[in-house]
Every structure is written in C-alpha cells, then in structure tokens.
Amino acid sequence: MIHYSISNKLCVLRLDSPPLNTITFALLDELCDAIRLANSDSRVQAIVVMGDSDHFSAGADVNLFKEIKCAEDAIRTSRLFQDAFDVVENSDKPVVAAVAGKVMGSALELAAACHFRVSTETTTFNMPEVRLGINPGAGGTQRLPRLIGPQAALDMLLTGKQIDARQAATLGLVDAVCPVPKKGPGLICPNGPEGASHKLNLVPFSARLLRADRIPSKTSERVEKLRDGQANDAAFKQADELLATVRPEIVAPAKIVEAVRTGLNESFRAGLLKEREVFAQCMDTLATQNKIYLFFATRQTAKPKKEPGLICAKHPPGRSGKLNLVPFSGKIGSAAVVGMGSMGTGIALALIGAGVPVVVRDENEPALQKGMARVKSSLEKQVRRGRLSQKQLEQTLGLISTTTGWEEIAKADLVIESVFEDIEVKRSVLGRIEQICGDRTIIASNTSTINLDVLAGAMRNPERFLGMHFFNPAQRMPLVEIITRQATSRQVVTTATALAKRIGKTPVLVKNREGFLVNRIFLPYVKEAFWLLEEGAEPAAVDAAMVEFGFPMGPLVLMDMAGLDIFVHADTVMNRAFPRHGGPSAVATNLVEQGHLGQKTASGVYKYEPGDYTPRLNDAAGHIIDRVRQARGRPGAAIDRDEITRRLVLRLVSEAFHVMEEGIAGRESDLDVAMVLGTGFPDFRGGVLKYARDAGLDRVVSQLKELADKHGERFSPCRYP
C-alpha cells in the first residue's frame, strides 16, 4: 500500500491502494512505519508523500463507518487518524505532500499535516464530511484554520465546497503549483524530463521547493493567521448566521464550529480532543446514520438482482435475443434525442456536458431554435460561474446538432424519445425511430407514467427497448430511472446504466408498470395535498407542513412550477391503472379547465407576478376551492399541521409498500434513494421506507388502518412489509 523509494536523498512514499487510494487503518500503519523508517535512514534528507499519476487519495475508506457501532468506536477511529497524522507532522525530516486530482476529506487532512504542499494546476480540494452529517475527524478542524485562516476554513468545513489549485495557493493551502505546459499531452513541470507525467515531475518540483531554503514548520504550531481577533470574531459571526439556517436534526455544522472555536480559544491539542468528541456525537444522531445509509445505498442502485425482469426473457419467433448491440463496456459513442421541449433539451445538455455527441430531432423548427437558445444560455451561465472556460463552451456546443428530419439520427448508438406524454404520439415516434435506425441502436423512452409494454406495440426488436426516465430539469436532477421490461436485453440495461453513470446521474433499476417508481409514489402524495384543500386546509398550510418536515418545497408550489395541466394529465393515466388511488381532484381539474396552470400562466394554486415566482395568495384559486368545498358539503374546517403531515407522509409510505410488494424496486434502499434524489424527500430522514422503519412498522401500519377507515382504501396497508 506504501511504495518506499529513494532518489537523490529524497524518499518518495507513494500511496498504492487502488482504485482510489482510500485511507484504511492498515494504510495508516504502513504510512507511520514508512515515515519512521525514512527518519532513521541516513540516505534520506526529506520525504515526499504522493499518490498516482493523476490522483492523490479520495480520503478515508467509507467502509470504516460500518465498523462504528458506538461512541467508543467513533472516538477510536478519529484518534487513530489523528495519531497517524501527528507522526507525519512530527517527522524530524521535512515532509512534502505532492497531490493531484481530487483531494478530499482525510486526504486533505493528511496533506495539511505535512510541512509543505505542492499540487498540479488541475488539483481540487474540499472537505465533504459535513454533507454526510459528520465533522472531519483527522485534525481538519484544527489544521485548516491554521493554514488558511478561520473564515476560509469555516467556509470549506461548513459547506463542503470545492476550491481549485489557484484558490488554494492564494489562501496558503498549497505552497506551490506545478504548471501544465502549453505544449504536449502530459502534465510536465519545469526542469522535469520531457514528456514525463506529473507523477514523476512533482518529485523534482518538490525537491526544488525544499532547496529554496524554506524552513519546515508544523501546521499545529502556526498561528500567524489566528492573531487577528476581529477577523476571527467576524468568521464565527458569519458561521453562526449559517447555523441559524440549519435544521436541528443536523448537528454537524454546529459541532464543527465548536471544534474550531475550541482549537482557537484553548489549544491545538484541546481542539483535537474536541474533534474526537463531536465526531462521536455526530455519528450517534439518526440524521447522520440516515445520510450514511443513503451514501451506501446510492452505490447499489445500478446493481441488479438476478430476476426475470432484468433479462431477455421473451423474443419474437425465430430470434435468439442476441443483437449486434453496443459492447458491454457501455461506451455510447453518439446519441440522439427526439423532441426538444424542456425535457429533451435538458437531456441533450446532460449528454453533451459529459462529452457525448448528440443530434436532437424535432419537427418544429422554432422548438429547435428555442431549445438551442436554452443550451447556449445554460453553458454561458457555467462560464460566468467559472465552471467552464470559453474554449470548453465552444467545444461543448460543437457536440450538439439539430434537425427536423429523421436520417440524421440513423447512426446513433442510443435514441431517447422525449415527446409529449401521449400514447399514440409516442408509439408513432418510436415506430419511426425503429424504422430509421439499425438493429444495433438502443431505443429508450423518457415517458414518466406510460406502461412500456403499451409503447412497445409491434416493435421488431423489443429486446433493445427500455425506459430512461429523467427528471426535470434533466441537466441538473441527479436521478435516472432505468425501466426494464420482461423482453429487455440485459446488455441493453447494462449499457443504458453505464451511460447514466457516465453523464453524472444515479441510475435506479425499476420494473415496468405505470408511473414506475418515483411518480407512482409521488403523484398520490400530490393528489392527497389537493384533497386536503377540498377538506378545509389552506394551500400555505399544506406547503408549510411539508417544508417543516424537510422537503425543499411543498407539493402545491411544486405543481405550480411543473404545471398543473401536466399533473392532471399524469394523474389520469395513473387513475386508470390504480383505481384505488381515487378519482381526480376537483380542485386541480377546475384550475386547469379555467386556465390556471401554475407559474407559466402566472396563476395556479398561487398567484405570481411577472418575473417573480414568489407564491402569493390567489383569490381566483380560493374561489374555485370554496366552490368545490360547497359542492361536496365540506364547510372548510381547519386541519392542523400535524394531521396534514401525517396524511401526506403516510400516503407516500402506503404507496411505497405497494411498490415493494409488486417488486417494482429491487431493494428498499433503491426506493429510498430514488425518492430522495427524485422528489427532495429529506435525506436526513433516510427515505420513505427508512423513515417508516425508524418510526416503527407496527405504529405505521396501525395509523394506515386508521386513515383507511376514515379516508378510504388508498391508505389500506398491503401485505408488505
């Protein structure tokens, strides 16, 4: 795991723990032994710690979390990391961290314990622990403020945001940046062998830094950036303002501030002890345990269970089911999207953003022009935010082309249909795609609710057809449902899944049925929100209850944003498939019939001003709601927040149980990941089913029976769990 070599009195310790050089207890032991050996080796004057040619380390091995069962385990884990990095810092011979790639978490804490740090120009740094609900436990809360100052350190520690090498050098996090040459494909540093990679050249670059009469200093003893009391007070004031916005279930940000404050007000050693203590406190919270559960669950969603829905089980007469498809590697060379509405445009953006050439076909030239304008606007926004250079923008734009014809899509490896959510329209488009494309082309539908068996119709090669359901806006939302039919080839599923991962999405494998997974569960939840309106709840109260529960926005605001007409149309499809869901909402139907479609008409459940999407009281919607209540003999009695929350959350749970009973999702954890990524269900609650289990299944089932007696069979428990 640690390669030990000596050249020109410089000892190079190279981390070699593929694929990511994650830091385990065993690697820590080897690192400490290697540091001690180098200190006793008379041939060595200085030490360089580095990783692979383009990657230093991804930080601590996350599997260590699985071994933490109690506070003592958490404290021990933190102490072992702290002690190992103390060995590095206390080396009598200077230690340089020569880093590349993404330097994250404990990898950055290791670099901070070294006496000097050098990086390539493309290196990035961040402390992502707070996103898992924990604090850094390997000295990061103590060394980072001493290197870059409390304000910059707290900013990194509390947000998990990433900084680049230039910013790191400006802050003092790195001592020197090894530049990339203007010529040649490799990363070459000055005075290094021509054509050598930075794996080799960071070593002489580090040697020159050591020869520059730089005096090694222990990070723990550096105080020059801690002396400005006013700056420190301002940093903590800013941190406290951020803490005021954090939910009480999530304690990590407050614990991070506590550890940093202890280190500044007392001592470095006191800060390390506090860091261990608060790490154990964070690990003991349900919110942190749920975030970690989802972290591991997300890694499993692309792995199918061995079940018939994921293999090529049926074939037309005379066919073996073996197609000349894209190879198992899943490397789609080019793609096409049919339909350039908002979803088609977003899918195209996601594809070209990952370097996949795409042609977009739409019969409407104005739609193509509008879509391309959105593509350019999105990329230009990334340039303004520093995420793309102008050259990268031009290269990315060069990957997309548009057409009103069909021939241009014929050679694509994958064609994604993304036209209006209508069975006949989609079947017509899919038939034309199959007619124009060769047998090796994979065909996917972006349908959000329609059963794929209905869309497959008379396809010649049903083995190559599946669903790839993106979520709006497709270029930003992280989830893609990979929907499989009984006839779908395993190779097709594997290839589509690999593409989803390549474009930065989390694929979740789902079996075919109307609504699939996310919409199957989420649309009944939205419908329940409208029924609460009919029974007397006010729109603002419904939305406020769900925001208080942890959703980023309430269901009614969300439907105004998505379009009430789209919700009513989707609900109609779902009602046909699942009569027990109950009929359509009279409030939603009347709003749509009278032209109140949401933000796009400046009037829906709420009212909106031009250019301002702040939801406001809508008298027109209020009159519609009142008329529906009167027609149904419901006077509009107030419903308290707890009851609103109970009904909406348990409607999610009830439908999730049915989804699992039917085998739509392979694992409970797959469902939980999909609902968190696809709907904004609060991650600190772990997902719909994790929430139900944490609440107690007996208690949940009892409440569902109670709600079913009062409100109907949509709440009735099924045989699952």
Told to judge if 217 belongs to the known catalytic residues of this protein, a careful annotator would answer no
Q: In 3D, which of 2, 217, 203 has the Cα closest to residue 90?
A: 217
Enter the tokens of residue 129: 């622990």
The HSE-up count of residue 282 (CA atoms within 13 Å, CB side) is: 32
> Each residue of 442-469: b (16+ CB within 10 Å) or e?
bbbbbbbbbbbeebbeebebbbbbbbbb
Of 109, 417, 463, 481, the active-site residue reads 481
Of 519, 585, 654, 669, the active-site residue reads 519
Q: In 3D, which of 419, 410, 399 has the Cα closest to residue 358?
A: 399
Distance in angstroms (rounded) separating the CA atoms of residues 703 and 718? 13
Residues with Cβ within 8 Å of 328's Cβ and at least 6 positions away in sequence, in order, are: 491, 494, 495
Distance in angstroms (rounded) separating the CA atoms of residues 416 and 693? 37
Residues with Cβ within 8 Å of 206's Cβ and at least 6 positions away in sequence, in order, are: 10, 46, 48, 96, 98, 116, 118
CB atoms within 10 A of CB 107: 27
Task: Give the CA radius of gyration of the chain.
Answer: 28
Count how many residues are written for the chain: 721
Contact (CB, 8 A) for 162 and 156: no
- Hey, is 589 helix, strand or coil? helix
Told to judge if 481 belongs to the known catalytic residues of this protein, a careful annotator would answer yes
- Hey, is 325 helix, strand or coil? coil
CB atoms within 10 A of CB 660: 19
Strand-pair partners of 117: 97
Of 115, 198, 469, 581, the active-site residue reads 469
Told to judge if 448 belongs to the known catalytic residues of this protein, a careful annotator would answer yes
Q: In 3D, which of 296, 275, 44 has the Cα closest to residue 138?
A: 275
Beta-strand ranges (E) seen in 435-555 are 442-445, 465-470, 479-484, 506-511
Of 448, 461, 489, 654, the active-site residue reads 448
Chain position carrying tokens 């608060």: 278
Chain position carrying tokens 């260590």: 64
Chain position carrying tokens 């060769």: 438
Beta-strand ranges (E) seen in 248-383 are 335-338, 358-361
- Hey, is 218 helix, strand or coil? coil
Question: Edge to edge, what strands does the sheet with 506-511 contain?
Answer: 400-403, 358-361, 335-338, 414-417, 442-445, 465-470, 479-484, 506-511
> Each residue of 187-197: b (16+ CB within 10 Å) or e?
bbbeebeeebb
- Hey, is 522 helix, strand or coil? helix
Distance in angstroms (rounded) separating the CA atoms of residues 61 and 379? 35
Catalytic residue numbers, as ranges: 448, 469, 481, 519
